[in-house]
A = this chain, B = another copy of it.
Amino acid sequence: MNPLLKLIEHGQSYWIDNLTRRMIASGELECRVRREGLRGVTSNPQIFRKAIAGTGDYDEQIETMICGGRPCPEVREIYEALVTTDIRNACDILRPVYDASAGLDGYVSLEVSPHVAHYTEASIEQARHLWRLVDRPNLFIKIPGTLAGLPAIEQLLFEGINVNITLLFSVERYQAVAEAYLRALERRREAGLALDGAASVASFFLSRIDVLTDELLRHRITPETSVELQPDPRTLLGKTAVANAKLAYRSFKRIIASDRWKVLEDRGARVQRMLWASTSTKNPDYADVMYVEPLIGPHTVNTMPETTIDAFADHGSVRDTVEEGLDEARGVMEDLAKLGIDFGQVTAQLENEGIQKFIEPYDALLAGLADKCQKYSNRLGVAPLQKVAQQLRRDVITMTTAAGSGHPTSSLSCADIVAALFFHEMRWDPGDPGARNVDSFILSKGHAAPILWAALRQSGASHEDLSSLRKFGSSFEGHPTPTNPWVKVSTGSLGQGLAAANGIALANRLDGIAARVYCLLGDGECSEGSVWEAAQFASLNKLTGLVAVVDVNGLGQTGPTPYGHRTEVFARRFQSFGWSTFEIDGHDMEAILDALYRARKSGPAAIIARTEKGRGVPFLEGVHGWHGKALSQEEMDRAFRELGETGVHMTVEPRRVGEIRSVEAEPPPPLEPGYRRGEKVATRKGFGNALKKLGEHMPELVVIDGDVSNSTYTELFARSFPKRFFQSFIAEQNLVGTALGLAVSGKIPVAASFACFLSRGYDFIRMAGHSRPPHLVFCGSHAGISIGEDGPSQMGLEDLAMFRSLAGSTVLYPCDAVSAERLTEKALRTPGIVYLRTTRPATPVIYSNSEAFPVGGSKVLRADKDDRYTVVAAGITVHEALAAHDRLKERGISVRVIDAYSVKPLDASTLGQAASETRGIVVVEDHWCDGGLGDAIAAATNSTVPVHRLAVSREPRSGTKEELLDRYGISRRAIEEKIVALAGR
């Protein structure tokens, strides 16, 4: 006879530690119950994880729940529906056992979430919830026997909810659990409730105890131990678990022998049976039934995995054993103590590990389930999104044909991607373009503007007429500009979107907004190095919320792009820059949704989408020669026939990403420079000092630098505010682009580098101008030939021209530390693009700390009614002008000296006055002759007096500062000579 069937004769039920839908559906469970004497089932997250995530057995139910037409349920709800379905079915299969045993046996156990193991109230809530959901009398709710679990257990049993107390390792804790049962019964009695209305088992764990204890024993039997330990640790290996269980059973026997219990038993209370759990043998050297055979006796359950059931069926031997060898058991526990093994610590560790062992698969189960849910939910969204994409295509063609120009084919290639983003993936609110706690979108391939306008219009975010595209006054411009409120940064000069996206992602992180930033690029624009600067920055800064989508349509303006449809080239590149990548068919809506979903967890992530330019209209698809060309009316009609009728309208549900933490900043106190007159301090140092001071009171102030922070002195800010300082390394395009992204996200960014290296980012600066940020400050240090020995490559000599030419820009140029601090403060408060020019060498402080420096002002440093000429200087040349003034004075020539610290706007009135009061102006500047201060002053003093220029007009070279100022004609000597010549002496 099968030994399993004999167990019941000795008072032991055997249960199985496994439950899956397949077991139920295949009839296996029923067979075991009917033919093999199985009397109960327990489940756990590990087994459900394998069954749900690893097989398709549950997919039908998942799909029905998600696609059932009702609002999409949460993942937890789906999880509960899946497992309670199984549990309920199992309960029904075991119901005959339950009924036949009058409620003594025939139970199925379902575990609460392992995350509530240490929370009494949450455990109670969950247990009640699951009890209601399953709604079967032969259900056990499994609750871990932690300290927090004890009151929950008592309460639940009191309420009549059956509890299987799990994760018991120590006799002491078992006793506490038994006590909880007794108290629950007593409370029921007091409340007049039936005592057989609450069943319980106490699950005592076996093999894990030996695994850990054996490990500790083995530490004591290494060959390095010369002393002979007493007792010999070898003799204890594999003995602890059973010994411990036998002692627990002894406790159990004492309890059911107590008077307290008798009272309850007499009133119908059922025994809280001992359940042996974790009874598979882990160590292959041990017998495979070692946790079954010695623990047979009345009022016991042994929950076994399949292998142990099979082993016992094959060669298990059955007799009453559980009360044998109690002395030996006691001896084992004493010997452990003698060897210094603290069994209390062992059981505590096992309890913690036990909880963790379920948390991991439980979380994995929910994550796996979320993936499946997403897949079904995606599938659900595919058909309408495909229609939306077709509608967007119609709109694109309508717009561009009405305009007679634009880029329809470049828009069609990304229509599916844009539909997926705007109508499915992105969390945004079409009613609020100013919202910050939403996902952002940057159309880096700006020439595809029509697809953006179409998406905004279809979603109700913009209301312009489609036919207004590219018309004067419409916000639907040829390329995206902030004239349309949904556009954060102007694009159209390719390769710029990703750096701006970096800045937005940084701002989100600073403000605790868990939003994502999507940037759509073309394959052609990936030839721009700036894309790779930005890609490096994103991965170095772990911008996990950043998702780039590359629309690989394979055609550029003049022909095929360099890599055609070879998406793997872009994937390899993004990978080599530290990004996750997904290569997909960019017209397969399900693939798009899936990639977007996966990208959520793996940012910065690049989705490399293979597409066709002109997709959707066969005569345009992948055909060269259509770049930037609109269709004729006739061609449009033909295209519409190809696209078919859509007549779709899909509503975008407004969604936000959490709440914005509102930062209430006090108005900062006025800046207080603290220099002594004559003290030599470089203006770049003054700038750094000011940043540090201002940072204290301006939480929106952020600084970004290109690996020269010890030269620009942004390091002073970086040290005090490391979280608001960003390192762009030697990548100035990204420096500017990221700063712009920060600027359009409510920050006041300062981007600093050598003045000459800002020329690297000039296209980005130009486009920043077109993006009209509220505040964006650039600081160029080491301007001019006064840097000295490093030579021409390091001399910023065109920076004034560069920044001056931009419409609406402000250009400031301090000459000492006081003006540097003051002008830094002004720069941060001046709207738009501001450029601050600083100098390498230390220069004497000439202003008092309280001097004010309004934008558009100037300082008349020397003036006399006899002034014959006016010397206008700025920055380093102010000091040369002052020295020249003194020397000329000695020679009897009086000159006015003006510090034109505000190069743009210029102080036209002061200069005009000087012009009218003197015979001519000499402008002296450390800059190329054209485009700088000289041009500015000639423009301002238009035709009133001659403007003579001293500026750098020949190729400079290495040398000392003094040599260079002199050789290139902008020194004190040069000024003196010029004035003397003008004065005709």
Residues of A bordering B, CB below 8 Å = 403, 405-406, 446, 470-474, 477-479, 481, 483, 490-495, 524-525, 527-533, 536, 540, 556-558, 561-562, 569, 572-573, 575-577, 705, 707-711, 715, 727, 729-734, 756-757, 759-760, 762-763, 766-767, 769-770, 772, 789-794, 797-798, 801-802, 804-808, 904, 928-932, 934-936, 938-939, 942-947, 949, 952-955, 957-960, 963-964, 967
A958 touching B730, Cβ below 8 Å: no
Inter-chain CA distance A760–B708, complex, in Å, is: 22
B756 touching A805, Cβ below 8 Å: no
In the complex where A572-B576, A791-B479 touch, is A804 in contact with B801 (Cβ < 8 A)? yes
Residues of chain B lying within 8 A (CB to CB) of residue A943: 943-947
B793 touching A729, Cβ below 8 Å: no
Residues of chain B lying within 8 A (CB to CB) of residue A805: 797-798, 801-802, 928, 930-932
- A711 partner, pick from B477, B557, B577, B769, beta carbons under 8 A: B557
In the complex where A446-B793, A729-B527, A932-B805 touch, is A472 in contact with B964 (Cβ < 8 A)? yes
Residues of chain B lying within 8 A (CB to CB) of residue A524: 707, 729-730
Shortest distance from the beta carbon of A454 to any chain B beta carbon, whole Å? 16
- A801 partner, pick from B478, B705, B931, beta carbons under 8 A: B931
Shortest distance from the beta carbon of A555 to any chain B beta carbon, whole Å? 11
- A791 partner, pick from B477, B807, B932, beta carbons under 8 A: B477
A938 touching B942, Cβ below 8 Å: yes
Residues of chain B lying within 8 A (CB to CB) of residue A935: 930-931, 935, 938-939
In the complex where A804-B931, A928-B805, A930-B936 touch, is A759 in contact with B770 (Cβ < 8 A)? no
Residues of chain B lying within 8 A (CB to CB) of residue A949: 939
A730 touching B953, Cβ below 8 Å: no
In the complex where A562-B536, A790-B492, A943-B944 touch, is A733 in contact with B573 (Cβ < 8 A)? no
A491 touching B793, Cβ below 8 Å: yes
Known: A477-B791, A493-B757. 4 other contacts (CB 8 A): A481-B792, A529-B530, A557-B707, A770-B793
25 CB contacts below 8 A, A to B, read A472-B957, A477-B792, A479-B791, A479-B794, A481-B792, A481-B793, A481-B957, A492-B794, A524-B707, A525-B730, A528-B529, A528-B730, A556-B729, A557-B708, A557-B710, A798-B805, A801-B801, A801-B805, A802-B802, A805-B931, A935-B938, A938-B939, A938-B942, A942-B946, A943-B945
Shortest distance from the beta carbon of A486 to any chain B beta carbon, whole Å? 15
Inter-chain CA distance A394–B117, complex, in Å, is: 69
Residues of chain B lying within 8 A (CB to CB) of residue A556: 707, 729-730
Shortest distance from the beta carbon of A462 to any chain B beta carbon, whole Å? 15
A478 touching B790, Cβ below 8 Å: yes
Inter-chain CA distance A493–B472, complex, in Å, is: 41
Inter-chain CA distance A672–B528, complex, in Å, is: 38
Residues of chain B lying within 8 A (CB to CB) of residue A711: 557
Inter-chain CA distance A471–B790, complex, in Å, is: 10
- A770 partner, pick from B492, B525, B792, B807, beta carbons under 8 A: B792
- A762 partner, pick from B577, B763, B958, beta carbons under 8 A: B763
A490 touching B792, Cβ below 8 Å: yes
Shortest distance from the beta carbon of A396 to any chain B beta carbon, whole Å? 15
Nearest B-chain residue to A706, judged by Cβ:
B527
- A576 partner, pick from B573, B707, B733, beta carbons under 8 A: B573
Q: Which 9 A-B pairs have the closest CB atoms?
A: A529-B529, A492-B793, A472-B959, A805-B931, A801-B805, A935-B935, A478-B791, A760-B763, A762-B762
- A759 partner, pick from B763, B801, B932, beta carbons under 8 A: B763
B478 touching A794, Cβ below 8 Å: yes
Residues of chain B lying within 8 A (CB to CB) of residue A791: 470, 477-479, 481, 492
Residues of chain B lying within 8 A (CB to CB) of residue A525: 730
Inter-chain CA distance A733–B405, complex, in Å, is: 29
Residues of chain B lying within 8 A (CB to CB) of residue A730: 494-495, 524-525, 527-528, 556
Residues of chain B lying within 8 A (CB to CB) of residue A944: 943
Inter-chain CA distance A794–B767, complex, in Å, is: 10
Inter-chain CA distance A793–B944, complex, in Å, is: 37
Residues of chain B lying within 8 A (CB to CB) of residue A403: 789
Inter-chain CA distance A707–B734, complex, in Å, is: 23
Residues of chain B lying within 8 A (CB to CB) of residue A527: 533, 536, 707, 729-731
Residues of chain B lying within 8 A (CB to CB) of residue A942: 938, 946-947
A960 touching B707, Cβ below 8 Å: no
A767 touching B789, Cβ below 8 Å: no
B952 touching A807, Cβ below 8 Å: yes
Nearest B-chain residue to A927, judged by Cβ:
B805
Residues of chain B lying within 8 A (CB to CB) of residue A967: 472
Shortest distance from the beta carbon of A468 to any chain B beta carbon, whole Å? 10
B472 touching A955, Cβ below 8 Å: no
Inter-chain CA distance A874–B531, complex, in Å, is: 36
Residues of chain B lying within 8 A (CB to CB) of residue A938: 935, 938-939, 942
Inter-chain CA distance A2–B959, complex, in Å, is: 91
- A790 partner, pick from B479, B562, B963, beta carbons under 8 A: B479
Inter-chain CA distance A575–B577, complex, in Å, is: 12
- A958 partner, pick from B470, B715, B732, B928, beta carbons under 8 A: B470
- A709 partner, pick from B558, B936, B963, beta carbons under 8 A: B558
A493 touching B760, Cβ below 8 Å: yes
Inter-chain CA distance A881–B959, complex, in Å, is: 48
Shortest distance from the beta carbon of A942 to any chain B beta carbon, whole Å? 5
- A808 partner, pick from B533, B790, B955, beta carbons under 8 A: B955
Shortest distance from the beta carbon of A200 to any chain B beta carbon, whole Å? 58
Residues of chain B lying within 8 A (CB to CB) of residue A575: 572, 576
Shortest distance from the beta carbon of A187 to any chain B beta carbon, whole Å? 65
B405 touching A804, Cβ below 8 Å: no
Inter-chain CA distance A808–B794, complex, in Å, is: 18
Residues of chain B lying within 8 A (CB to CB) of residue A405: 789-790
Inter-chain CA distance A792–B759, complex, in Å, is: 20
A529 touching B733, Cβ below 8 Å: yes
- A763 partner, pick from B495, B536, B756, B952, beta carbons under 8 A: B756
Inter-chain CA distance A460–B928, complex, in Å, is: 36
Residues of chain B lying within 8 A (CB to CB) of residue A561: 729
Inter-chain CA distance A14–B113, complex, in Å, is: 85
A471 touching B958, Cβ below 8 Å: yes
Inter-chain CA distance A525–B757, complex, in Å, is: 13
Shortest distance from the beta carbon of A76 to any chain B beta carbon, whole Å? 41
Residues of chain B lying within 8 A (CB to CB) of residue A483: 957
In the complex where A772-B955, A932-B805 touch, is A573 in contact with B562 (Cβ < 8 A)? no
Inter-chain CA distance A528–B483, complex, in Å, is: 32
Nearest B-chain residue to A572, judged by Cβ:
B576
Inter-chain CA distance A471–B967, complex, in Å, is: 13
Shortest distance from the beta carbon of A648 to any chain B beta carbon, whole Å? 29
Nearest B-chain residue to A524, judged by Cβ:
B730
Shortest distance from the beta carbon of A712 to any chain B beta carbon, whole Å? 10
- Among A405, A577, A805, chain B packs the most CB atoms within 10 A around the CB of A805
Shortest distance from the beta carbon of A842 to any chain B beta carbon, whole Å? 15
Inter-chain CA distance A472–B805, complex, in Å, is: 33
Shortest distance from the beta carbon of A954 to any chain B beta carbon, whole Å? 6
Inter-chain CA distance A929–B808, complex, in Å, is: 10
A479 touching B707, Cβ below 8 Å: no
B772 touching A766, Cβ below 8 Å: no
A955 touching B557, Cβ below 8 Å: no
Nearest B-chain residue to A946, judged by Cβ:
B943
Inter-chain CA distance A533–B733, complex, in Å, is: 13
Residues of chain B lying within 8 A (CB to CB) of residue A953: 807
Residues of chain B lying within 8 A (CB to CB) of residue A939: 930, 934-935, 938, 947, 949
Residues of chain B lying within 8 A (CB to CB) of residue A763: 732, 756-757, 759-760, 762
- A472 partner, pick from B478, B760, B963, beta carbons under 8 A: B963
B477 touching A958, Cβ below 8 Å: yes
Residues of chain B lying within 8 A (CB to CB) of residue A932: 805
Inter-chain CA distance A302–B532, complex, in Å, is: 66
Residues of chain B lying within 8 A (CB to CB) of residue A536: 527, 562
Shortest distance from the beta carbon of A450 to any chain B beta carbon, whole Å? 12
Inter-chain CA distance A929–B943, complex, in Å, is: 17
- A802 partner, pick from B492, B494, B733, B798, beta carbons under 8 A: B798
Shortest distance from the beta carbon of A54 to any chain B beta carbon, whole Å? 33
Shortest distance from the beta carbon of A331 to any chain B beta carbon, whole Å? 57
